[in-house]
Amino acid sequence: MNNKLHEKLIDWYELNGRALPWRETRDPYCIWISEIILQQTRVDQGITYYYRFIDRFPDVESLATASEQEVLRLWQGLGYYSRARNLHKAAQQIVQSGHNWTDMARNQATLFHFLISLPGVGEYTAGAIASFAYNLPYPALDGNVYRVLSRLFDCDMAFDTTQGKKHFRQLAEQLLDRTRPRLFNSAIMELGALHCLPNAPDCHSCPLQTWCKAFENNTVDLLPVRKPRPKVRDRYFEYHIYLTPDWHTLLHRRTANDIWKHLYEFPLNEYADGFPTTDIQCIGTYRHILSHQRIHTRFLLHKVTTLPNVAECITISLNDLDTYPVSRLTMNAIEILDRLF
């Protein structure tokens, strides 16, 4: 059964797969960068960042020797900044280890073990690099593949639990085309991205319809199943923008183990239950939604003759703001300042 299924799927992919830059390379470094960028990012947005990253850091050595500030600055706007911090740390780890990826590929287990030991690299990314760069027989299960597998096998186990991940990995191992893992993984991911969509999948023209248990059992719309999501937490961020007549301001670097670690922002007061009343000029309000947090924001403007002494802040000229990596919210504040002054 699998041979026929592989043939159908790969034929479909060869006709319908998108030409994407990371599919045209076998360089494990470029594939790794693309896979990290594409986590939580749309392909069209990812392409811009991929080129930007590869242009500036064409190899693992150039990424390893860059400053974290520069890496974060290049990542700015993509969100989930731990991905950029981990990429940077992993590049340093690779360079320090002196490992040569090509030599390691001669021993599949060593390569996979090494990949998965890198910060930010899990089973999915390690499988993607091993199969796309070296054509090694490892499955690569991203959200699209989980969806296709859950429907193909009519499996209603939550795929994002420990037990679910293990089960779906077994299904993926069972289905993998071991002679053409690179093509097979690309094809099944693409089927999920273009065809077996979360809503209204096009089952009638699907190359896998003959084998699809959910189609047969009329359960397509019920799959895939996720574990219940944690409650969304509300946070209230009040940013204080101090501005002197010669255009200087204060910035703070986030250091806590929290969102936007190591990014810069204006001095912040955080409240848990809403903002207090204020007489200070408010120049903008936003609501920023993250996966488990809803961040209510307001920007308060203080026109001052001299900057106050605020703990752990640095003084910078407004003209230099764009050399600092900042969060989406701080970018919003900068856009407001550009419009106002």
Q: Which of 35, 190, 238, 265 is catalytic?
A: 35
Give the residue with the Cβ less far from ligand SF4, 204 or 339: 204
* One of 148, 187, 243, 326 touching ligand SF4 (CB under 6 A): 148
Q: Which of 54, 149, 183, 206 binds ligand SF4 (CB under 6 A)?
A: 206
Locate all alpha helices (DSSP H) within 98-247, ordered by sequence.
101-104, 108-116, 123-134, 143-152, 162-175, 181-194, 213-217
Asked whether position 214 contacts ligand SF4 by CB under 6 A, the answer is yes
**252 near ligand SF4, rule: CB under 6 A:** no
> Interface with ligand SF4 by CB under 6 A: which range of 5-13, 32-40, 207-215, 292-300?
207-215
Q: Does 219 bind ligand SF4 (CB under 6 A)?
A: no
| Residue given tokens 């090694």 in the structure block | 136
Nearer to ligand SF4, 151 or 240 (CB): 151
Round to whole Å and give the CA distance between 174 and 171: 5
* Residue 209 binding ligand SF4, by CB under 6 A: yes
What amino acid is encoded at 319 in this protein? N
Contact between residue 307 and residue 244 where contact means Cβ atoms under 8 Å apart: yes
Q: How far is the CB of 222 from ligand SF4 (least distance, A)?
A: 11
**Which single residue is written with the structure tokens 């993926």?**
172
Task: Kindly state whether residue 188 participates in binding ligand SF4, applying the rule CB under 6 A.
Answer: no
What's the min distance (Å) between Cβ of 184 and ligand SF4? 15
Closest separation in Å from C-beta 223 to ligand SF4: 8
Alpha helices in the chain (DSSP H): 2-16, 28-38, 43-56, 60-65, 68-75, 82-97, 101-104, 108-116, 123-134, 143-152, 162-175, 181-194, 213-217, 328-340
Is 152 a binder of ligand SF4 (CB under 6 A)?
Answer: yes
- Binding segment for ligand SF4 among 87-95, 160-168, 199-207, 248-256 (CB under 6 A)? 199-207
Residue 35 designated active-site: yes
d(CA 249, CA 313): 10
Tell which residue, 156, 270, 262, has the closest CA to residue 214: 156
Residue among 28, 137, 181, 201 that touches ligand SF4 (CB under 6 A)? 201
Q: Which residues within the stretch 274-333 sit at the binding site for ligand SF4 (CB under 6 A)? A: none
- 215 scored as a contact of ligand SF4 (CB under 6 A): yes
Residues 6+ apart with CB under 8 A from 22: 30, 31, 33, 34, 35, 50, 132
Q: Among the candidate windows 25-33, 59-67, 104-112, 196-204, which touches ligand SF4 by CB under 6 A? A: 196-204
Q: What is the number of other CB atoms lying within 10 angstroms of the CB of residue 208?
A: 19
Catalytic annotation, residues: 35
Q: Which residues bind ligand SF4 (CB under 6 A)?
A: 148, 151-152, 195-196, 201, 203, 206, 208-209, 212, 214-215, 220
